[in-house]
Structure 1
Amino acid sequence: MNASEPVLMSSSGVSGSETPIQYPCLAKALHWLSAIVILWAMITGTYISIFSVSQTLKDQIAYINVSVTAVFIPVFGLRLLLRYVYRNNPVYRHSSAVKGVHLLMYFLITVVLISGVLMMHKPINIFDILSLPVPIQSRAIQGVFDVVHVWGCRTLGLIVVVHIFAVFWHRFRGESVLHKMC
């Protein structure tokens, strides 16, 4: 074993090839943090865009979503970096289909985060601590990124549903994959 590779442990904490392998602890933490942020932003963002809600509620949710996702951008960058660093870890050995879906998810999350920033038409207020200037001044270009953001969110939502369904499907077939991520 290479010293830079993490020791793979079973859920009982025993190392060895006969026990199920787990994702590195930091990868697990970043996965669940990502899941919480993405599900929150998608559910609340969809809610305020579909249902008739007060402008006050829209503004409050938008403020929270912009702040949370802005803070999440470097966290997600770290997640991508660690995924690359651990790319040869046996826990990441998947079929081409699984790898493809995960790469698509990473790509869509990146598109949604970047387009979310570039579509902004007012300064980006992050928890009233930091204010970033509008990155693009052209309303037409902001509009393009708005469309990219909306369609990126919709596509990501579909892929997230497929991802969650796959977890249940594997469990139903007796191939629990969730234990690797818990």
Structure 2
Amino acid sequence: MMTGTGPIHYTGVAKTLHWLIALVIITMLIFGQGFETSEGDDLAFSLTGHSSLGLTVIGLIILRILWRIGHPPPALPETVAGVQLLAAKLSHLLLYALMIYVPVTGLYTAAAHEMPVMAYGAFDLRVTLSFFGADDFEGRRFLHELGTWLLISLLAVHVSAAFLHQFVQKDDVLRRMLPGKAKG
């Protein structure tokens, strides 16, 4: 049983943005692997893909936040209360914060990279973001990697909670965000 009188499913736009952002983040994490061992053209390719997807995530997150402001999420089931409700709200807030923090610190790091970081293959982020300066690459990379690991950890909690709702609590929380036509 859902609380409130609003919709019980997310809108099609919200679902599309959710799954598109998930796909882009997973792809971006793949591009981000192996930076330490890549060189030359392989590193340039990875930096281009990773930075381009980071800029894309920022745009998609802004759209998602704007959409969410005008289209509040559906109410959670009445069984989600107390600490679980607080955890759900806090984890979503932290997810949004980290989905902004990680790409922004990535851009900050790119500004100090020794190689050109060609976003979309069209412009060098080091030039575009030169106002950040180019010092302390390692410190910037640390901030970016820390945020990345926090985001990965929180995403693991998010996915685990979705599966808990679907397969243990059987309360249709996951179904509200699955692609396709809403039922009920």
Same fold by TM-score greater than 0.5:
yes
- CA displacement 1:126-153 (0-9 Å, x = unmatched): 222344413412312x443321111000
1:34 to 12, 21, 29: 21
- Of the structure 1 ranges 59-68 and 154-163, higher mean CA displacement relative to structure 2 is found in 59-68
Deviation of 1:172 after TM superposition, in Å, equals 1.7
Is contact 1:116–1:146 with CA below 8 Å preserved after alignment?
yes
- How many residues get paired? 160
Give the corresponding residue for 2:133. Answer: 137
Matched, 1:69 2:36: no
Give the corresponding residue for 1:13. Answer: none
Q: Runs of 4 or more off by more than 6 Å in structure 1?
A: none
Give the corresponding residue for 2:70. Answer: 85
2:108 to 88, 96, 118: 118
Secondary structure at the aligned position of 2:118 is classed as strand
Is contact 1:124–1:134 with CA below 8 Å preserved after alignment?
no
- State the percentage of identical aligned residues: 27
CA distance in 1, matches of 2:121, 2:38: 24
- Of the structure 1 ranges 164-173 and 115-124, higher mean CA displacement relative to structure 2 is found in 115-124
Counterpart amino acid of residue 177 in structure 1? V
1:175 to 160, 166, 171: 171
CA distance in 1, matches of 2:19, 2:29: 15
Give the corresponding residue for 1:154. Answer: 149
CA distance in 1, matches of 2:134, 2:42: 27
**1:53-64 map, 5 Å:** 53=38, 55-64=40-49
Could you say if the C-alpha distance between residues 77 and 40 of structure 1 is closer, same or farther in structure 2, counting changes exceeding 3 Å?
same
Matched, 1:48 2:34: yes
Secondary structure at the aligned position of 2:9 is classed as coil
Is contact 2:9–2:74 with CA below 8 Å preserved after alignment?
no
- CA displacement 1:32-66 (0-9 Å, x = unmatched): 01100111112331x3147x455433332221111
So what's the TM-score if we normalise by structure 1?
0.76
Deviation of 1:92 after TM superposition, in Å, equals 6.5
Deviation of 1:111 after TM superposition, in Å, equals 0.8
CA distance in 2, matches of 1:118, 1:53: 20
So what's the TM-score if we normalise by structure 2?
0.75
CA distance in 1, matches of 2:48, 2:124: 12
1:165 to 146, 157, 160: 160
- CA displacement 1:109-167 (0-9 Å, x = unmatched): 11101111111125652222344413412312x44332111100011000011111111
Unaligned runs of 5+ in 2: 1-5, 179-184
